[in-house]
Structure 1
């Protein structure tokens, strides 16, 4: 369903002409114009393709303290189109990608946050995430009947990152399309606010509450490239959440050296791992053309 809505556009199922899209674990029902029916048939056929049913794909999540890693590998990078501002994409032959990764691993600031053996089935979403709640005092309630005359009101704000990756092989078996979404939320600091809460016993009494200062990063895009090549995405220098106890939220994430909020250059590496795993269950059949080349949407 997600792939159908991505390809046809959410707006095409609302308003005129009348449209119906309904799915059960075994049946897909579509009522729309012939053009949209053709698009849906192609997507369904991509899920049912015997070439794609046992395909699996790997994704690596990498951070580095500095984006200067490009200096030593610039000659190996082959730029690819990308719409997101501040981000870059490259599609490399496997030999060139291996050389880039080997160079990155030599750096002391190289950290990998997903298992190299992480495999994703064709058409199925995979999520790599690390979230934690950070407690703080949001407000106070006046309670004259209790000591010291008020009660702190606690709250929790979530910080961390979530990466969603959904690959789908084209009908030609030679082109991969992937939807990639990445969300990062970081509590940069808790801004203190001192409240005056006088009581008959303590007329100069005060207490502290906190207001979270947040940083957010959002990325969502679709790419197409040849399965015999590897996609490398640089999402830029983004917030990296770390707990207040100065230990990393995710093992290996860099600790802040200065008093400012930590930042890291975030890289994603996507590649086809060939035919492995369990086949994806079929829904129905259709016919549609394959698509070559790399595109971002």
Structure 2
């Protein structure tokens, strides 16, 4: 007996059509119950979110409606800047200065550095509200009228000052005994310095030549550097002379060989690093200069004897070294008449240059592990005017492989202020 369906022939569904109809029904149910973005995600990624979605987009927190995240800040009324102290927005044209420095990357950075040195950094991060921004063509300042007077004075020294390269002569000398002052005292004018242990004097160029002659007559005087630095007004130049000294810092087990220990060596850098940034007044009669110097020297290596066990119940005797480093730092800003010479004494500190014995057999440092070298480090800084008016050659300062040469830009975090 044949059983007939109660559906008409036009309404009968084949198996494949039944599956498609069921899928459409389920889709309709999901569309009516699930959020639209979840449905869109399910339709876009049939294999599920974990199948094709990047890990950073998986398991995102639910969006909060009607409340802005705190990290986005609060929008000010009308987008206007606060004027609680009568702040003004002024734009300073830097093209008369930066237009000459075609080979310098970000020459406007020197303007920013000197503005911050003059004003300090706190005034830009505390009340009243203000900001500072610069590019190669302009400097934008938003602050009080008193602050604009300070900023305009610095900007004028760049845009209305010297555009040609200038020459700064730098001499670094060491004297074994500080009694050189007894003969030179009356030739020098003392200047106060904030850095502990540092002394400064101003000398006329004639008196500077006399003091130099006094020092060169001494047997314990050694000239470390004598350089003419060609610099653009306000820019920073660097020089360095460092070298590494190796030592045994640890004893570790060896993979093979006898004894089953091997030394682990380390290296400590010694020498000096120096950076100088001069800024002339608009009439070239005065000069501001920021000098930063670092001297590191290995005074000696302290030896430590070790006794290590061996598999045959014996003792292996060895030695490690602990470096004793003497360091000295200077970071000062000076202002003096450009026709005078600035003399700095770092005090009796680690000598920036280690003397080496002419005869290696008598080099006692190799036997004792110590470094002879306490000296009064002196630095003569002299402004010599335009480079075109100086006929002297301009030597390059020595640079270690890990340090930039003169004129090469340093890292982002330079610690200038």
TM-score, normalization by structure 1: 0.80
Counterpart residue number, 2:44: none
Where structure 1 has 5 or more consecutive residues not aligned to the other structure, the ranges are 248-254, 279-296
CA apart distance, 1:164:
1.5
Alpha-carbon distance in 2 for matches of 1:228, 1:46 = 18
The one of 123, 142, 147 equivalent to 2:234 is 123
- Is 1:148 the counterpart of 2:254? The answer is no
Bigger RCO of structures 1 and 2 (CA < 8 A, at least 6 apart): 1
Alpha-carbon distance in 2 for matches of 1:42, 1:236 = 35
The one of 387, 394, 402 equivalent to 1:276 is 387
Counterpart residue number, 1:20: 131
Where structure 2 has 5 or more consecutive residues not aligned to the other structure, the ranges are 1-111, 359-364, 390-416
Counterpart residue number, 1:36: 147
Alpha-carbon distance in 2 for matches of 1:122, 1:97 = 24
Distance 1:147 1:28, change over 3 A: farther
Q: For each residue in 1:112-139, what CA deviation from the matched residue of structure 2 results, as whole angstroms up to 9, or x when unmatched?
A: 2223434443212222321111111111
Alpha-carbon distance in 2 for matches of 1:232, 1:219 = 14
Q: For each residue in 1:137-161, what CA deviation from the matched residue of structure 2 results, as whole angstroms up to 9, or x when unmatched?
A: 1112224654322232211111111
Distance 1:245 1:150, change over 3 A: farther
Counterpart residue number, 1:291: none
Larger Rg: 2
The answer to whether the Cα contact below 8 Å between 2:254 and 2:262 also exists between their aligned partners in 1 is yes
Structure whose residues are more often helix by fraction: 2
Alpha-carbon distance in 1 for matches of 2:325, 2:300 = 7
Within 5 Å, give how 1:84-163 maps onto structure 2: 84-143=195-254, 145-163=256-274
The answer to whether the Cα contact below 8 Å between 1:133 and 1:158 also exists between their aligned partners in 2 is yes
Alpha-carbon distance in 2 for matches of 1:36, 1:140 = 60
Alpha-carbon distance in 2 for matches of 1:210, 1:16 = 53
SS of 2:272's equivalent in the other structure is: strand
Counterpart residue number, 2:334: 223
The one of 169, 183, 187 equivalent to 2:294 is 183
- Is 1:8 the counterpart of 2:119? The answer is yes
For the aligned residues, what is the CA RMSD? 2.8
Distance 1:233 1:52, change over 3 A: farther
Distance 1:59 1:260, change over 3 A: closer
Q: Which moved more, 1:12-21 or 1:2-11?
A: 12-21
Alpha-carbon distance in 1 for matches of 2:200, 2:152 = 30
Q: Which moved more, 1:109-118 or 1:92-101?
A: 109-118
The answer to whether the Cα contact below 8 Å between 1:47 and 1:53 also exists between their aligned partners in 2 is no
Distance 1:195 1:177, change over 3 A: same
The one of 46, 64, 67 equivalent to 2:175 is 64
Alpha-carbon distance in 1 for matches of 2:222, 2:190 = 23
Alpha-carbon distance in 2 for matches of 1:154, 1:193 = 14
Distance 1:199 1:124, change over 3 A: same
Distance 1:181 1:265, change over 3 A: same
SS of 2:303's equivalent in the other structure is: strand
Counterpart residue number, 2:304: 193
TM-score, normalization by structure 2: 0.59
Counterpart residue number, 1:210: 321
Distance 1:91 1:202, change over 3 A: same
The answer to whether the Cα contact below 8 Å between 2:165 and 2:230 also exists between their aligned partners in 1 is no
The answer to whether the Cα contact below 8 Å between 2:249 and 2:320 also exists between their aligned partners in 1 is yes
The answer to whether the Cα contact below 8 Å between 2:167 and 2:228 also exists between their aligned partners in 1 is no
Q: Which moved more, 1:10-19 or 1:156-165?
A: 10-19
Q: For each residue in 1:16-36, what CA deviation from the matched residue of structure 2 results, as whole angstroms up to 9, or x when unmatched?
A: 444433333344333334333
